Amino acid sequence: MSNFPIKPRGLYFEDFQPGLRITTAGRTITEADIVNFAGISGDFNQMHVDEAYSQNTFFKRRVAHGLLVASVISGLAVQTGVMEGTVIAFREINEWKFSKPVFIGDTVHAVMEVTEAKEMRRLGGGSVSISVDVKNQNDDTVMKGLWTVLMASKPA
Protein backbone atom coordinates (compact mmCIF):
# COMPACT_ATOMS: atom_id res chain seq x y z
CA MET A 1 0.00 0.00 0.00
CA SER A 2 1.15 3.48 -0.82
CA ASN A 3 1.29 6.29 1.68
CA PHE A 4 0.45 8.74 -1.11
CA PRO A 5 -3.22 9.66 -1.45
CA ILE A 6 -4.70 9.12 -4.89
CA LYS A 7 -6.19 12.31 -6.29
CA PRO A 8 -9.32 11.62 -8.34
CA ARG A 9 -9.11 12.97 -11.88
CA GLY A 10 -12.88 12.93 -12.39
CA LEU A 11 -15.17 15.90 -12.30
CA TYR A 12 -17.09 16.63 -9.13
CA PHE A 13 -20.82 17.21 -8.87
CA GLU A 14 -20.32 20.98 -8.97
CA ASP A 15 -18.56 20.67 -12.35
CA PHE A 16 -21.58 19.05 -14.03
CA GLN A 17 -23.60 22.00 -15.29
CA PRO A 18 -26.45 21.64 -17.79
CA GLY A 19 -25.10 21.98 -21.32
CA LEU A 20 -21.72 20.37 -20.57
CA ARG A 21 -20.97 18.07 -23.56
CA ILE A 22 -18.53 15.20 -23.56
CA THR A 23 -17.74 13.04 -26.59
CA THR A 24 -16.21 9.62 -26.02
CA ALA A 25 -13.61 7.90 -28.13
CA GLY A 26 -14.86 5.35 -30.63
CA ARG A 27 -14.70 1.57 -30.43
CA THR A 28 -15.20 -0.99 -33.17
CA ILE A 29 -17.53 -3.86 -32.32
CA THR A 30 -15.91 -7.20 -33.16
CA GLU A 31 -17.06 -10.78 -33.49
CA ALA A 32 -15.08 -11.53 -30.32
CA ASP A 33 -17.15 -8.90 -28.48
CA ILE A 34 -20.38 -10.61 -29.53
CA VAL A 35 -19.16 -14.12 -28.68
CA ASN A 36 -17.80 -13.00 -25.30
CA PHE A 37 -20.96 -11.07 -24.45
CA ALA A 38 -23.12 -14.07 -25.38
CA GLY A 39 -21.02 -16.21 -23.04
CA ILE A 40 -21.18 -13.74 -20.17
CA SER A 41 -24.88 -12.91 -20.53
CA GLY A 42 -26.16 -16.29 -21.69
CA ASP A 43 -27.88 -14.57 -24.64
CA PHE A 44 -27.11 -16.89 -27.54
CA ASN A 45 -29.96 -15.58 -29.69
CA GLN A 46 -29.25 -16.81 -33.22
CA MET A 47 -29.48 -13.29 -34.65
CA HIS A 48 -26.26 -12.56 -32.74
CA VAL A 49 -24.27 -15.78 -33.05
CA ASP A 50 -25.45 -17.74 -36.12
CA GLU A 51 -24.33 -16.31 -39.47
CA ALA A 52 -26.41 -18.71 -41.61
CA TYR A 53 -29.55 -18.06 -39.58
CA SER A 54 -28.95 -14.29 -39.64
CA GLN A 55 -28.88 -14.21 -43.45
CA ASN A 56 -32.61 -15.00 -43.37
CA THR A 57 -33.52 -12.26 -40.88
CA PHE A 58 -34.66 -8.69 -41.44
CA PHE A 59 -31.06 -7.43 -41.08
CA LYS A 60 -29.51 -10.14 -43.36
CA ARG A 61 -26.47 -10.47 -41.07
CA ARG A 62 -25.56 -10.79 -37.41
CA VAL A 63 -26.27 -7.84 -35.18
CA ALA A 64 -24.56 -6.95 -31.91
CA HIS A 65 -26.58 -7.33 -28.72
CA GLY A 66 -28.11 -3.96 -27.84
CA LEU A 67 -26.99 -4.39 -24.25
CA LEU A 68 -23.46 -5.18 -25.43
CA VAL A 69 -23.31 -1.84 -27.22
CA ALA A 70 -24.81 -0.06 -24.20
CA SER A 71 -22.13 -1.67 -22.02
CA VAL A 72 -19.37 -0.63 -24.42
CA ILE A 73 -20.68 2.93 -24.29
CA SER A 74 -20.65 2.84 -20.49
CA GLY A 75 -17.00 1.80 -20.65
CA LEU A 76 -16.16 4.52 -23.16
CA ALA A 77 -17.83 7.08 -20.87
CA VAL A 78 -15.68 5.91 -17.96
CA GLN A 79 -12.55 6.07 -20.14
CA THR A 80 -13.10 9.81 -20.64
CA GLY A 81 -12.00 10.16 -17.01
CA VAL A 82 -14.84 12.49 -16.06
CA MET A 83 -16.15 10.05 -13.44
CA GLU A 84 -12.87 8.52 -12.30
CA GLY A 85 -12.74 8.54 -8.53
CA THR A 86 -15.74 10.86 -8.20
CA VAL A 87 -18.73 8.71 -9.19
CA ILE A 88 -20.74 7.37 -6.27
CA ALA A 89 -23.11 5.18 -8.29
CA PHE A 90 -24.72 4.65 -11.67
CA ARG A 91 -28.35 5.07 -10.67
CA GLU A 92 -30.74 4.89 -13.64
CA ILE A 93 -31.15 4.30 -17.35
CA ASN A 94 -34.30 5.96 -18.67
CA GLU A 95 -36.04 6.43 -21.99
CA TRP A 96 -33.50 4.13 -23.69
CA LYS A 97 -34.26 3.47 -27.33
CA PHE A 98 -32.47 1.14 -29.74
CA SER A 99 -32.87 2.97 -33.06
CA LYS A 100 -30.63 1.14 -35.54
CA PRO A 101 -28.68 -2.10 -35.54
CA VAL A 102 -24.98 -2.29 -34.82
CA PHE A 103 -23.09 -4.82 -36.93
CA ILE A 104 -19.71 -6.47 -36.60
CA GLY A 105 -17.18 -3.88 -37.79
CA ASP A 106 -19.26 -0.83 -36.83
CA THR A 107 -17.52 1.79 -34.70
CA VAL A 108 -19.59 3.44 -31.98
CA HIS A 109 -19.07 6.45 -29.76
CA ALA A 110 -21.32 8.60 -27.57
CA VAL A 111 -22.10 12.27 -27.30
CA MET A 112 -23.16 12.97 -23.72
CA GLU A 113 -24.77 16.16 -22.49
CA VAL A 114 -25.65 17.09 -18.93
CA THR A 115 -29.34 17.98 -18.78
CA GLU A 116 -29.85 18.41 -15.04
CA ALA A 117 -27.90 18.45 -11.77
CA LYS A 118 -29.59 18.19 -8.35
CA GLU A 119 -27.67 18.54 -5.11
CA MET A 120 -28.12 15.71 -2.60
CA ARG A 121 -26.25 16.85 0.49
CA ARG A 122 -27.03 13.71 2.49
CA LEU A 123 -25.03 11.72 -0.08
CA GLY A 124 -22.15 14.18 -0.18
CA GLY A 125 -22.81 15.07 -3.79
CA GLY A 126 -25.63 15.14 -6.26
CA SER A 127 -27.63 13.51 -9.01
CA VAL A 128 -26.60 14.27 -12.59
CA SER A 129 -28.83 13.49 -15.59
CA ILE A 130 -26.94 12.90 -18.82
CA SER A 131 -28.48 12.61 -22.27
CA VAL A 132 -26.55 9.92 -24.19
CA ASP A 133 -26.61 9.79 -28.00
CA VAL A 134 -24.79 6.71 -29.34
CA LYS A 135 -23.60 7.11 -32.92
CA ASN A 136 -21.97 4.83 -35.45
CA GLN A 137 -19.20 5.61 -37.93
CA ASN A 138 -21.73 7.26 -40.27
CA ASP A 139 -22.89 9.60 -37.49
CA ASP A 140 -26.25 7.78 -37.35
CA THR A 141 -27.87 7.50 -33.93
CA VAL A 142 -28.04 3.80 -33.07
CA MET A 143 -29.36 4.22 -29.52
CA LYS A 144 -30.07 6.99 -27.08
CA GLY A 145 -31.47 7.67 -23.67
CA LEU A 146 -30.88 9.26 -20.33
CA TRP A 147 -28.46 8.17 -17.61
CA THR A 148 -28.56 9.30 -14.02
CA VAL A 149 -25.35 9.10 -12.01
CA LEU A 150 -24.58 10.13 -8.45
CA MET A 151 -21.43 12.24 -8.25
CA ALA A 152 -19.39 13.25 -5.20
CA SER A 153 -19.06 16.89 -4.20
CA LYS A 154 -15.71 18.65 -4.07
CA PRO A 155 -13.89 18.08 -0.79
CA ALA A 156 -14.26 20.89 1.73
The one-digit pLDDT tens for each residue of the chain (156 residues) are 456 666 778 999 999 999 999 999 999 999 999 999 999 999 999 999 999 999 999 999 999 999 999 999 999 999 999 999 999 999 999 999 999 999 999 999 999 999 999 999 999 999 999 999 999 999 999 999 999 999 999 988
Architecture of domain 13-152: Roll (3.10)
Residues 34-42: contacts with CB under 8 Å, at least 24 apart: 34/62, 34/64, 34/65, 34/68, 34/104, 37/64, 37/65, 37/67, 37/68, 37/71, 38/65, 41/65, 41/67, 41/68
Is the pTM higher than 0.75?
A: yes
What b-and-e string marks burial along 9-28, b requiring 16 or more CB atoms within 10 Å of the CB? Answer: ebbbbeebeeebebebeebe
Sequence spans of domains, the chain: 13-152
